[in-house]
């Protein structure tokens, strides 16, 4: 549970902006994310963009369908660290590309890529959810309709009778080659 102040207005956020166990500490310990966090654009005006990213991440995450609705409230004491880390991950992704907060999917619509004579073409667009993969992974155990038990959890298969379609392959009386 934390707050950030932007232009004299306080906002509740998952985690905190600076200090122990903060967005700052999370980013500074990560080789890939530290340059995003500390870019001159993001640190200008006392870290206003960093605070805005954390507020935006909190708004996106708190709007999700949690199995336990108290997790949707960033002011809840004792929130799981994974939810706070997900907010930090989303905030840092937003600092790198703020459109992540306004899109409804991460679907990749690129069909063809050319680079110096090397071509890659996909058959169709690749689907993706609204959240970046790492964020979705951190939140999955806490969201309604998901399971933390891994791939295939809650799967359903119809039309399966336990018999092999190859059991009747010799019904035409063919007994080998020759």
What single string gives the DSSP state of each residue in 89-108? HHHHHHHH-GGGGT-S---B
Surface-to-core class of residue 40, CB atoms within 10 Å of its CB (0-12 exposed, 13-18 middle, 19+ buried): exposed
pLDDT of residue 139: 94
Per-residue confidence (pLDDT) for residue 153, from 0 to 100:
45
Residue 25 in 3-state DSSP? helix
Q: For each of the chain's 178 residues, which pLDDT tens digit applies? A: 688 889 999 999 998 888 778 898 888 888 888 888 888 777 766 688 899 999 999 999 999 999 999 999 999 999 999 999 999 999 999 998 888 888 765 455 556 677 777 877 665 555 556 788 899 999 999 998 755 444 444 445 555 566 665 555 556 666 666 5
- Residue appearing with tokens 């791939």: 151
Q: Judge contact between 74 and 12, C-beta under 8 A.
A: yes
Handedness of CA 57, 59, 64, 65 (dihedral sign): positive
pLDDT at position 115: 77
| Contact between 109 and 125 (Cβ < 8 Å) | yes
Instruction: Give the pairing of strands 112-115 and 2-6.
Output: unpaired
Q: What does each C-alpha distance from 145 to 103, 105, 153 come to in angstroms?
A: 22, 18, 10
Provide the pLDDT for residue 151: 45
Q: What angle do CA 52, 100, 44 make, to 5 degrees?
A: 35
The pLDDT of residue 14: 93
Run of H or E residues at 12 = strand 9-13
């Amino acid at each position: 549970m934390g707050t950030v102040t932007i232009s004299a207005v306080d906002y509740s956020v998952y985690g905190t902006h600076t200090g122990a166990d903060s967005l700052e500490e999370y980013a500074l310990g990560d080789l890939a994310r530290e340059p995003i966090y500390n870019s001159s654009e993001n640190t200008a005006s006392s870290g206003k963009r960093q605070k805005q990213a954390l507020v935006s991440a909190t708004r996106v995450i708190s709007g999700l369908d949690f199995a336990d609705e108290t997790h949707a409230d960033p002011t809840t004491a004792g929130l799981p660290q994974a939810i706070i880390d997900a907010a930090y991950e989303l905030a840092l992704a937003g600092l790198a590309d703020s459109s992540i907060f306004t899109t409804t999917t991460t679907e990749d619509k690129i069909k063809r890529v050319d680079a110096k004579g090397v071509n890659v073409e996909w058959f169709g667009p690749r689907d993706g959810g609204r959240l970046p993969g790492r964020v979705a992974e951190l939140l999955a155990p806490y969201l309604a309709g998901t399971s933390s038990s891994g791939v295939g959890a809650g799967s359903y298969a119809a039309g399966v009778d336990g018999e092999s379609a190859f059991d009747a392959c010799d019904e035409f009386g063919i007994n080998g080659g020759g």
